[in-house]
Homo-oligomer: A and B are copies of this chain.
């Protein structure tokens, strides 16, 4: 026989043991790489394994060892470059330690998130990294702990949950961004974010169920208050969950009697849509409208004007989360750690000095 011909049924340790004339236990020792075996036996087993084209069944292995070598990741949307980078960071760090990544998309929906976590736990992932959609519904996150699996929260911490987390310094970043705008003379500054309050209307920071979003809004309001801008809260706009929603919301915003002279976007997808709307309506940037966004997406450097951004170390956040999780998996038992990574304000050219504005950005047509 020349080729390891496709077997009608895959070879098992028992098959290899039989062919090589040793016991199942010995064959398993060789194939599994544990215990002590003589060279003779090892050679015989390896030969037989090759002959039969033996492939270990990790499922069976996981069942007895209780470890699957897999970490589950639940994010809002992999299509969002933010999560794309984060997942890349996670997956690189995981692979470096011999772990695989099972990915699940929640679509920022709690029910989907719950279902995803349920199956991931049932599939016996060794641990999870989750970017929770809301911090109110945490039952399913607590269950992860009950099931004896470590959990690391990514990008969105939850105070009520005693688990590790990796976030960016959102509060500080929001303050810096708002301060920049205020210093440039802006007083009508809108903050556009994806968030899921039923009304889509902002009332109180306590309505905001996502820590990172809330902290940013708090920073935004705080700096506004310090600068003596009374109307700040009315410029907070929620519900930019899809490009379409963002578009409608932006148009509404720019149609108001007093349109904002600057907009802060909470992620690059939102910024992109705002950029499109401004362009379609002939609103000059930054003269008529300044724009700042969270997330230094690749494209923000090539637009006209290039966009001033808050650079979050996204890849590193994912990497750090994976490393933390793997530490827990290796037996680390210390108190929950909350890693807060610094952000960086990258000034490009999308912020104008207010006094120089040539025109109100307001959309007049229609």
Contacts and interface: CB of A to CB of B under 8 A. Distances in A.
Contacts of A77: 88
A70 interface: yes
Contacts of A63: 57, 59-60, 63
A146 interface: yes
Given A10-B148, A59-B68, A123-B58, A88 B79 contact: yes
A302 B272 contact: yes
A275 interface: yes
A36 B298 CA distance: 57
Contacts of A6: 145-146, 148
A84 B79 contact: yes
Interface string A134-164: 0000000000011110000000000000000
A276 interface: yes
Interface stretch (A39-47, A96-104, A192-200, A357-365): A96-104
A78 B70 contact: no
Contacts of A148: 6, 10
B105 A95 contact: yes
A27 interface: no
A61 to B, nearest CB: 8
A78 B91 contact: yes
B100 A102 contact: yes
Contacts of A279: 302
A92 B120 CA distance: 16
A102 B272 CA distance: 30
A101 B102 CA distance: 6
Interface in A69-92: 70, 77-79, 81, 84-85, 87-88, 91-92
Contacts of A92: 105
A349 to B, nearest CB: 12
A87 B73 CA distance: 14
Interface string A115-126: 000011111100
B57 A124 contact: yes
A53 interface: yes
A184 interface: no
A295 to B, nearest CB: 13
B78 A84 contact: yes
Given A59-B59, A59-B68, 19 more contacts: A55-B122, A58-B124, A60-B63, A70-B102, A78-B87, A78-B88, A78-B91, A79-B81, A79-B84, A79-B88, A81-B84, A88-B105, A92-B105, A95-B105, A100-B119, A269-B298, A298-B299, A299-B302, A304-B304
9 closest A-B pairs (Cβ-Cβ)? A299-B299, A304-B304, A58-B122, A79-B88, A103-B103, A58-B123, A6-B146, A275-B302, A84-B84
